[in-house]
Amino acid sequence: MSGSTLQVRPYSAADEGATIELWQRSWQKAYPDIDFAERVAWWRERWRNELVPQVRILVAEMDDELEGFVTVDPKTGYLDQIVVAPEFWGSNVATLLLDAGKRVSPARLELLVNKDNARAISFYEKNGFEMAGDDVNPVSGRPVFRMRWRS
């Protein structure tokens, strides 16, 4: 396909397998000491029962290849996941997804980021997020920062 461009579009049920695989692969690369393969069944359950019915999910793709996705609750502005395939880290995929998330919740976004994820913290700060306090991830128990963006 000539003239391919990265596009962000709404998630569809046909994307489930690719998004779950991407979630596992990206988090495994970011945290190699954690066995994310072991967590796939839990994640699939959470994806189907908590995220898909309640949040807006947007995917970034080019040439039918999923490069990333973002989940935002339009009611609360909570950004639960922004996941980019490791081979696209450092590209514009995360920025495009974050901008799409800001369109879902134009007044504010809030998220939790692991305190040891300097790369993500730097990315969010560059994109207008501010520290809003310390917290603990309710799922992993890891120390996190709460970060907030307001338009």
The model's pLDDT over 92-117, given as tens digits with 9 standing for 90+, comes to 999 999 999 999 999 999 999 999 99
Query: At which residue do the structure tokens 């396909």 appear?
Result: 1
120 in any annotated domain: yes
Look at residue 19 in the predicted model and tell me its pLDDT.
97
Question: Tens digit of pLDDT for each residue in 54-103?
Answer: 999 999 999 889 999 999 999 999 999 999 999 999 899 999 999 999 99
Domain span at residue 115 reads: 7-150
**Residue 74: CATH number of its domain:** 3.40.630.30
DSSP state of 8: E
2 in any annotated domain: no
User: Count of domains in the chain?
Assistant: 1
- Dist. CA 76–CA 55, nearest whole Å: 10
First to last CA, the chain: 37
Determine the 3-state secondary structure of 35 from DSSP.
coil
64 in any annotated domain: yes
Give the pair of three-digit tokens for residue 37.
């393969």
1 in any annotated domain: no
60 in any annotated domain: yes
- The kind and range of the H/E element at 67 are strand 65-72
